[in-house]
Structure 1
Amino acid sequence: MDEFRVIESPADFGDAVRKLADGEGPIAVDAERASGFRYSQRAYLIQMYRRGAGTFLFDPPEIPDFSPLEEAIHAEEWVLHAASQDLACLREVGLDPDRIFDTELAARLLGMPRVGLASVVEELLDIKLAKEHSAADWSTRPLPQAWLKYAALDVELLVDVRDRLAERLAETGKADLAAEEFEAVLHKEAKPPAAEPWRRLSGIHAVRNPRNLAVARELWLARDARASELDIAPGRMVPDSSILAVAKALPRTRRALADLREFTGRASRSELDRWWSAIERGLATDELPAVRVPSDSPPPPRAWSMRNPEADARLRLARAGIVEVAEQVDMPVENLLTPDHLRRVAWNPPAEPTEESIASALASLGARPWQVAATAQIIADAFVEAAQSVQDAATGGS
């Protein structure tokens, strides 16, 4: 079989840049991280393929400056599968495309039943793509040949996939809306850091006592700091379930912590002093976290019928209309319109629900022009119907 080689020397890098610049057509791009193994989300391998140039596997930790590559290819179309997953780590090393074609997103817009890369390749190219190394630790060095082959195949077939998808988008009249979606992904702003990231602990919503929450917070902060220092995925040191178990049990001594059977993880005992110090801070602090965090999001829809019956009617009727449109255009409902956009407009609608006012509200939330055009009138009609149904119910239908 072909021997795959990772590019890590200046000479090999320069040669790869020249070949990619001289190639033809779009450039397939993919990146491999070490999620679940490392704290960082950096790329540990970047793969590129271009017709007339070949396949190139770059080793980011060994390449200090990607700017020559960026300068050579940034203006070309980059083809990525699920681009939102890779753009951040590519930008971290200075690789940022001017335009993209997202094959996963295109598959969604076309209503394909399965949109994972292996499934899309099989349906469009009739080639079975093994995915056995997708969850591998890509920070491993040297990278095994089997892993490199897997990584190379991810991009070697991607341009062919792009061409088949582009044909289908054109045939179904979805090429323009797909271009809008690709632009939205490319220019989407990164979410600001969470004010209290520890609240992302799995299961934390079940903890309702401020003191227990304080212990959970201090343990999370201690774990996060140590994981960052060692560049290890936090969950590999102490899993979330262990932090929750300690927060609920509130052990009062170091020995009680050590004896807690639910407190598991590779570093649960080797770093016991660190965790016990965190617990002591949580038990002693006067800065207790709030049980409920203020939010500008609407409440869960299941509570709407009691809290706001008209909003509940608006949401139900509008959702039914959007589901019907999604079926007509053969795409998932969530791609036709982001569910959160609909919930927000239904909970806090314009004073007069017209097509224009709904369109303005949706656009302010970030809906793309094609989404607004496809849904604004449907939503406006549903809101008018909801108001009438609530009025009829209140007056007994008279």
Structure 2
Amino acid sequence: MSEDIDARPLNEPFDGIPPITHDDVATAVATLAQSPGKVFALDTERAMGIRYSDRAYLVQVKSENSPIYLIDPVGVEDKLGPLADALSGEWILHSADQDLPSLRELGLEPTKVFDTEMAALLLGYDHTSLQHLVADLLGWYLAKEHSNADWSERPLGPDLRAYAALDVQLLHELRDSLTEMLKNAGRFDWFEQECEEIRMRPPKPPKAQPWRRAARQAGVKDQRALAMIEQLWKVRDEIAKSRDLNPSKVFPTKLVGELASHKLRSYADLKRSPLLRRRERQKLVAPFWEAIDAAWHTPESELPARKFRDPNRDPFPPTNRWDSVNPEAGRRWHAIRDRIFSLADELGIRQDVLLKPIVQKTVAWNGWSSTSDLHRALTAAGARPWQIELTVPVLAQTA
């Protein structure tokens, strides 16, 4: 929070702290279904870093004239059809891509999205948190001391319920302020295109080899040790899923790599390892030894490669190698970056908002033969019309 923003603290909702709605969802549905304009403020609370899944343990909902509802969906997921019908309309969310997946798991789907974070990005805000925007535009300071709470615990005390409710208390007012600013800046059309892309964005594909993270953290490059990390990762994930715990709660990710780096040769060596000395970790010795033993018996021809680049995330080689592996692409990359950074600076927005780096990489690597071909290439890479209109004139000069 910037020190020069004069904001009043808001510690609980204007109408008091709402109760939890669980079995009595019908009451909320009846009220929300009558919402004029069908514009709803929504948020979710999850238990990331604590539980195995990324499910929503609380859904906060408010229409412009309704009370705030704190809906506990756990155990009543099959009864939320009427709520989905009632909420069919525009949703105001902050950082919508974080909440939409868990809301969709519950069968809840918007017809339109208003993402307050995206609005702030297009307006050139350096700080785009909900807390900062509410303070800057509405004059209220929202405390965020419960952001890492365990939202899977029950019951939820008044402090947590107040915190959750405040996340939707002012979203309608914030939407009105941001809409006026975007229209005054001539960027509301940009905003609508970005929000529709967020609404329609498919889920990210899973990482092909997520266990590589442990290898990087521990600096492991030995192929046999990499195989051990892969096997330990799988076993840890199975245990975490069965316990509904985040895998790092079962055994820290960095220690997975460190344990594998020792390349232990026996069950007894593993049992004596300082990394498993804690009493609660002794239960991991047997399954972890099975994983290590399996890696010892993996044929050398089937060991993981020392280096791996996930094609689902970024199919291109590191850009610092482009000058040698594809000189023309390297030349285009440097030119594109210069022009995108310069244009973004003129517009007062971040370069990745103007044009995502993966789109920049795609057109730089593949090239284009004409201005119309560049237009098609940007469209195929996922650029929105407003981005294409702004960037084609400056990028065409780099062909």
Q: Give your verdict on TM over 0.5.
A: yes
Matches within 5 A, 1:135-146: 135-146=148-159
Matches within 5 A, 1:3-42: 3-9=17-23, 12-25=24-37, 26-42=39-55
Higher relative contact order (CA 8 A, sep 6+): 2
1:254-273 CA distance string (max 9 Å, x none):
23223333558885323211
Gaps of 5+ in 1: 384-398
> Which piece of structure 1 moves more, 202-211 or 54-63?
202-211
Residue aligned with 1:118, SS:
helix
* Whole-angstrom CA distance in 1 between matches of 2:398 and 2:271: 58
Q: 1:38 to 1:264 in 2, by over 3 A?
A: farther
> Which piece of structure 1 moves more, 194-203 or 64-73?
194-203
Aligned-pair identity in percent equals 38
The answer to whether residue 340 in structure 2 is matched with residue 328 in structure 1 is no
* Whole-angstrom CA distance in 2 between matches of 1:106 and 1:263: 48
Residue aligned with 2:281, SS:
coil
Is the 1:245–1:263 contact (alpha carbons within 8 Å) kept by the matching residues of 2? no
* Whole-angstrom CA distance in 2 between matches of 1:264 and 1:129: 43
Residue aligned with 1:290, SS:
coil
**Where has structure 1 moved over 4 Å in runs of 4 or more?**
262-267
Residue aligned with 1:269, SS:
helix
Q: How many pairs align?
A: 378
Residue aligned with 2:43, SS:
strand
Q: 1:288 aligns with which of 280, 303, 315?
A: 303
Is the 1:237–1:267 contact (alpha carbons within 8 Å) kept by the matching residues of 2? no
Is the 1:242–1:264 contact (alpha carbons within 8 Å) kept by the matching residues of 2? no
Is the 1:237–1:266 contact (alpha carbons within 8 Å) kept by the matching residues of 2? no
Please tell me the residue identity of whatever aligns with 2:31. Answer: K
Q: 1:152 to 1:45 in 2, by over 3 A?
A: same
TM-score, normalized by length of structure 2?
Answer: 0.90
Please tell me the residue identity of whatever aligns with 1:374. Answer: L
Please tell me the residue identity of whatever aligns with 1:369. Answer: P
* Whole-angstrom CA distance in 2 between matches of 1:382 and 1:235: 46
Is the 2:276–2:285 contact (alpha carbons within 8 Å) kept by the matching residues of 1? no
Gaps of 5+ in 2: 1-11
Matches within 5 A, 1:317-356: 317-350=335-368, 352=369, 354-356=370-372
The answer to whether residue 377 in structure 2 is matched with residue 377 in structure 1 is no
1:221-246 CA distance string (max 9 Å, x none):
00001111111000011111111001
Q: 1:264 to 1:357 in 2, by over 3 A?
A: farther
Is the 2:97–2:198 contact (alpha carbons within 8 Å) kept by the matching residues of 1? yes
The answer to whether residue 189 in structure 2 is matched with residue 153 in structure 1 is no
TM-score, normalized by length of structure 1?
Answer: 0.90
Residue aligned with 1:22, SS:
coil
Report what 2:8 is aligned to.
none
1:161-186 CA distance string (max 9 Å, x none):
11111111100011111101000000
Report what 2:4 is aligned to.
none
Please tell me the residue identity of whatever aligns with 1:324. Answer: S
Please tell me the residue identity of whatever aligns with 1:239. Answer: P
